Structure 1
Amino acid sequence: MIDLPLSALEVAMVEAGKPATETLRDSAEFAQELDRLGYHRLWYAEHHHSPAIGPFPPVVLTAHTAATTSAIRLGSGGVMAPNHAPITVAEQFSTLAALHPDRIDLGIGRGPGTFDEGTARALRRGADPATDDEYRADVAATLDYLLSEVDLGHLPEPWLLASSTAGAALAGSLGLPIAFAHHIRPDNTLEGLERYRKEFTPSRWSERPRVLVCVETFCAETEEAAVRLSGPMDVIKAGLLQGRGDNAFPTPETAARHEFTDQERGALAAFRAHQALGTPETVVRQLGQLAEATGADELMLVTPVYLLRDRVRSFRLIRDHIDQAKG
């Protein structure tokens, strides 16, 4: 049984055949539903120039959602440090923390947030990708600016996103809580978390290692229905395996007709081994096993499915099953 906080990552999928404005509307409704269901936090990912994922800045979505919810923690998962001036990030999230005390998180990541090289260079005003030293300096500067800005009485809670041992080591050396992207690089999870705990140095941000693990999760009344929900994301992943990020987020019906190569099927099967997928009983068991294997303090679920009602149902089924088991 799971006895730790459950949270959610919002990647704001733009569904094929629908305008992006519907994604924004659905995102707001999704946050309100999670707030009612008692999920701990909701983070927004930064993405650019993708037909499948909306280009909605995490700071804007966080501000909007904080005004329409009451208890759930909100923030970035994450803001991509190479794309932004550290002082700007610090000012934005410090202001949010002052407006919504004890509810704002600042998750910082390294990736460009895009699969398009031209867009990545535009975000950095033509500069090359950040080196390890530049990234560390950006993160450190952001933390320094959080402490040196005008005292607004509250600070956002900083986290470092990682999917590699190098990122995990950086989180540990800076004394930050870590959010590990198990949904992206599951083969790195155990080694990365071991490195994080080994390198951890207590700081004013955290006195001990704190681990959040993000896992791709699809829950439905039957396993067949859960597999169907996961189909659209399989199509997106197949494109990424070919170095292409230009696929729209398809309907389940379109995904069911998609013909995968043998190589793609093998890669998707490997990913599926690390998902939580199936009925509520199966998903909760899988989440519990992941929590035990990683020693996670918190699990964050990312559920990229086509319809809002199916996404909300997935989160509700999981919460209901856990509550019923607790009696």
Structure 2
Amino acid sequence: MITLPLSALEVAMVQTGTRAVDTLGQTTEFARRLDALGYRRLWYAEHHHSPAIGAFPPVVLTAHAAASTSSIRLGSGGVMAPNHAPIMLAEQFGTLAALHPDRIDLGLGRGPGTFDDSTARALRRGAGPTTDDEYRDDVASTLRYLVDEVALGPLPEPWLLSSSTAGAALAAELGLPIAFAHHIRPDNTLAAVDHYRAHFAPSPWCERPRVLLCVETVCAETQEEAARLAGPMDVVKAGLLNGRSDVPFPTPAEAAVHPFTEGERRALASFRAYQAHGTPEAAVRRLTELAAATDADELMLVTPVYALADRLRSYELVKQHAALTEAGTG
């Protein structure tokens, strides 16, 4: 039974046969529908130079969605701190928080947001990968600028994104709530969350450890339909397993005939076992298990399926079945 708040991560997949502008146009409908369904928050991820994911700045999508919705919290999940000047992040999200009080989140992450080295260097004006110390300074500086330079009124709620124990350690040190990318590195989840709780130091931002767990969730009326909807992202993942980040996001029909190798099938099945795929009963049961195993405070669902209608239906089914189980009727 899920009694935790449910949230969503938008990765803005660009469907084969469409343009990025078409994906961008769908983000408004998606945000409005999640708002109506009662999801707690909707975050936007920073990505660059990918045929499968739109390069839409999280701050811009956050601003647009905040003006198009009424109650759902909005923000970044995340902006990649090394790609941006800390004072600019503070000013941008501080301004949004002043315009939309108590509705803006600032999720900070470390990665480049791209698998392309030349793009990563361009984002950092020729600099190489950030060091641990540089990343810590970026996050700490952003927090300091929020208070010292931006304080226009209500501030955004800061979160630290993590997919490793190192990220969890920084969140604990700085006293920030943590959003753990279980949908990326499920093998790291339990160790990272345990480390975070064991070493957490309260701060003005967060008095106690708070854990948001992001889980890949693909839900449909039948197991077979959920598997069909998950097929396009399986093709993209198989490309990444082979060092290819240039694989487009195919249609379900194209994915159904994709020639996966046996090794790819095993790897994809292993990953899927850690996530929440299937019927509403199966998906909610798996989310409940993950919440219990991690003692999470909140679950964030990421649903990379091809069509907007199918994606919205997945979120609707999970929300409906979670409500039924909470009421003791499901």
Task: Give the TM-score normalised by structure 2.
Answer: 0.98
CA distance in structure 1 between the aligned counterparts of 2:107 and 2:243, rounded to whole angstroms: 26
- Tell me the equivalent position of 2:73: 73
- Tell me the equivalent position of 2:256: 256
Instruction: For residue 260 of structure 1, give the secondary structure of its aligned residue in structure 2.
Output: coil
Matched, 1:145 2:145: yes
CA distance in structure 2 between the aligned counterparts of 1:273 and 1:211, rounded to whole angstroms: 21
What do the CA deviations read for 1:161-220 (whole angstroms, capped 9, x no partner)? 000000000000000000000000000000000111111000000000000000000000
Which aligned pairs between 1:70-219 and structure 2 lie closer than 5 A?
70-219=70-219
What do the CA deviations read for 1:146-172 (whole angstroms, capped 9, x no partner)? 001143111000000000000000000
CA shift, 1:326, in A, is: 3.4
User: Structure 1: where are the runs of 5+ without partners?
Assistant: none
Task: Give the TM-score normalised by structure 1.
Answer: 0.99
Matched, 1:292 2:270: no
The CA RMSD measured in Å over matched residues stands at 0.7
Instruction: Count the aligned residue pairs.
Output: 327
CA distance in structure 2 between the aligned counterparts of 1:217 and 1:196, rounded to whole angstroms: 24
CA distance in structure 2 between the aligned counterparts of 1:65 and 1:300, rounded to whole angstroms: 18
CA distance in structure 1 between the aligned counterparts of 2:189 and 2:280, rounded to whole angstroms: 24
CA shift, 1:325, in A, is: 2.8
CA distance in structure 2 between the aligned counterparts of 1:143 and 1:271, rounded to whole angstroms: 35
CA shift, 1:250, in A, is: 0.4
CA distance in structure 2 between the aligned counterparts of 1:20 and 1:150, rounded to whole angstroms: 33
What do the CA deviations read for 1:80-121 (whole angstroms, capped 9, x no partner)? 011000000000000000000000000000000001000000
Which aligned pairs between 1:19-34 and structure 2 lie closer than 5 A?
19-34=19-34
The runs of at least 4 aligned residues of structure 1 exceeding 4 Å deviation read none
CA distance in structure 1 between the aligned counterparts of 2:86 and 2:97, rounded to whole angstroms: 16
CA distance in structure 2 between the aligned counterparts of 1:181 and 1:151, rounded to whole angstroms: 30
Aligned partner letter, 2:286 = Q
CA shift, 1:63, in A, is: 0.1
User: Structure 2: where are the runs of 5+ without partners?
Assistant: none
Among all aligned residue pairs of Structure 1 and Structure 2, give the percentage whose two residues are the same amino acid.
Answer: 73
Matched, 1:242 2:237: no
Q: Is the 8 A contact 2:91 2:150 kept in 1?
A: no
Which aligned pairs between 1:294-313 and structure 2 lie closer than 5 A?
294-313=294-313
CA distance in structure 2 between the aligned counterparts of 1:68 and 1:313, rounded to whole angstroms: 20
CA distance in structure 2 between the aligned counterparts of 1:241 and 1:324, rounded to whole angstroms: 38
Deviates more, 1:317-326 or 1:201-210: 317-326
CA distance in structure 1 between the aligned counterparts of 2:17 and 2:105, rounded to whole angstroms: 33
Instruction: For residue 160 of structure 1, give the secondary structure of its aligned residue in structure 2.
Output: strand
- Tell me the equivalent position of 1:321: 321
CA distance in structure 1 between the aligned counterparts of 2:275 and 2:258, rounded to whole angstroms: 21
Instruction: For residue 49 of structure 1, give the secondary structure of its aligned residue in structure 2.
Output: coil
